[in-house]
Amino acid sequence: MSESLTRVSFYDRPNVEKQIIPIGDGVPLGMEGVYNPEVGIGGAYGSWGQSYSNSNLPPFVERRLGEPLNAEDVLNLSELGFDYRQHIPDLTEAQHLELELEVGSRLLQRALQVCGWNPSEVEGVLIGLSGPVSNDYVRQISHMAGIPDAALKVSVHKACDGSMGALHLALNPELSRSAPLNVAEHLQGKKVLVGGIEGLSRFTNGSKDKNALQLFGNGMGVIGVVPGENMKFLVGKSVENYDEEGLLAVRMYYPHSRPELTADSLVDVVQDEVNHIRIAGLMNEPKDGASIEMAGLMGMVKLFVRTGVQVVADVYNEYQSMMERIGQSGKSITMGIVHHANFKINALKAKHLSKLGIEFPMPWLLNDFGNVSAASNMIAFLRQLPEIKLGDHILFDGFGAGTYYDVMAVSMGE
């Protein structure tokens, strides 16, 4: 597991298309489109806001905190796999909404262009987002992008696991077998946009947590898939393991019924409108009403590694059994696309998996974004997409506060 990108700001990458969104004093937006004709999958990813390097980040964090950082408070972010991240200035509530609607709709439009799809052809939009700027965000950006109102919209709020929860839902019919609408069966063979859009600069502005303000930034990524055709589900597992200690407490900026912890599931599934489903995960929230509160970096390791390794091992072993059943025991996972919480967490997961005899490449790919929550898997996938071959088996590993895990193995193309 190694870092494979040159350490430059995202906006300085050669293929990034830059724009300025005329809100406030103007907000930079950058996007990069990626398409692999061999597997028939493409999409777009990007970020918005001013790019901050590790050296010029502390003054920005101090302005957000309203007080100076002590030397011991400054994280060694390069060691954690992050060299840049994007932040926005302080805006009004109305400006935040206008900005993120522009960002999201432009991302969907760019992804459609890359895939060569007409908006009218899209029959599903599934987006993971931790703290939505509005409850109908996915419906609004889809409408702005020209996608029919009749297309299914799914908002997935499971913190950093949101985009993987969305992809898993689109591919695995077992996840909604008992629901009124089986999402995977409904979307089989149809053109679907799946991704994560995370305005974490807005989100973390409601926090005084010094670690969170340094780690997180804005990011987004959307791919165009045709479930069962250019991406086929093999095996997968979705796990809930409630964070009773509040090691990574996150405020729920979305409706949730807050069921008792003894309930069968901590996830609310609500159909707000005929074609809009909201998947809302219960969070252990900060007691002071802040947006996010972290129990230090070791708290994140404790939260994600032990259960995360077990879920990946379960899926990997199920994958191996499946390959043996269908007479392809020599087939293996080409690579893992893992949520980029931080490099040390992912390296430790790889080490523990290796001890179990489970090894496959898990490239680190987001040094120029910071932790971008549900967007990270999609950005990482798009950055690796040009290297993926027809028939490759990819393992997606999503995990997020709450705590939620979605791990799945897929086959690329027919």
- Domain ranges in the chain are 10-412
Residues 96, 151: Cα–Cα separation, whole Å: 26
4 pLDDT tier (thresholds 50, 70, 90): very low
Query: Over 90: is that where the pLDDT of 398 sits?
Result: yes
Task: List the single range of 103-107, 248-252, 255-259, 396-400 with lowest mean pLDDT.
Answer: 255-259
pLDDT band at residue 394 using 50, 70 and 90 as cut-offs:
very high
Instruction: Give the CA distances from residue 28 to residues 21, 22, 46, 54, 152, in Å, rounded to whole numbers and listed in that order.
Output: 6, 9, 11, 19, 31
Mean pLDDT of the chain: 95
Q: Give me the pLDDT at residue 296, please.
A: 82
pLDDT of residue 299: 84
Q: To which residue do tokens 């179990």 refer?
A: 356
> Can you give the pTM of this predicted structure?
0.96
Between 49-63, 112-126, 244-258, the lowest mean confidence (pLDDT) is in: 244-258
Name the DSSP letter for residue 192: E
Contact criterion met (CB below 8 Å) for 149 and 123: no
Residue 1 has pLDDT above 80, yes or no: no
Q: Is the pLDDT of residue 130 over 60?
A: yes
Instruction: Write the DSSP symbol of residue 289.
Output: S
Quote the CA–CA distance of 60 and 56 in Å, as a whole number: 7
Q: Do residues 157 and 278 make contact, with C-beta atoms less than 8 angstroms apart?
A: yes
pLDDT digits (tens, 9 = 90+) for 176-192: 888 889 999 999 999 99
Q: How much is the pLDDT for 66?
A: 93
Mean local confidence (pLDDT), 195-224: 96
Measured CA angle at 234 (ends 232, 236), to 5 deg = 120
Q: Rounded to 5 degrees, what angle do the CA atoms 39, 164, 348 make?
A: 100
Average pLDDT over residues 159-164: 98
Could you give the CA distance from residue 388 to residue 412 in angstroms, rounded to a whole number?
Answer: 8
Q: What is the mean pLDDT of residues 204-208?
A: 93
Looking up tokens 């999409």, which residue turns up?
Answer: 43
What's the rounded mean pLDDT across residues 318-335?
Answer: 95
pLDDT value of residue 6: 58
pLDDT at 277 over 50: yes
* CB 390 within 8 Å of CB 301: no
Q: What DSSP character marks residue 201? A: H
CB atoms within 10 A of CB 361: 12
Instruction: Please say if the pLDDT value at position 41 is more than 50.
Output: yes
Confidence band of 110 (pLDDT split at 50, 70, 90) = very high
Q: From CA 130, how far away is CA 128, in angstroms rounded? A: 7
* pLDDT > 70: percent of the chain: 98
Percent of the chain residues topping a pLDDT of 90: 90
pLDDT higher than threshold 50 for residue 338: yes
Mean pLDDT over residues 233-244, rounded?
Answer: 95
**Kind of pairing, strands 276-281 and 292-294?**
unpaired
139-165 average pLDDT score: 98
CATH of 10-412, one of 3.40.50.1100, 3.40.47.10, 3.30.365.10, 1.10.10.10: 3.40.47.10
Mean pLDDT, rounded, for 361-377: 97
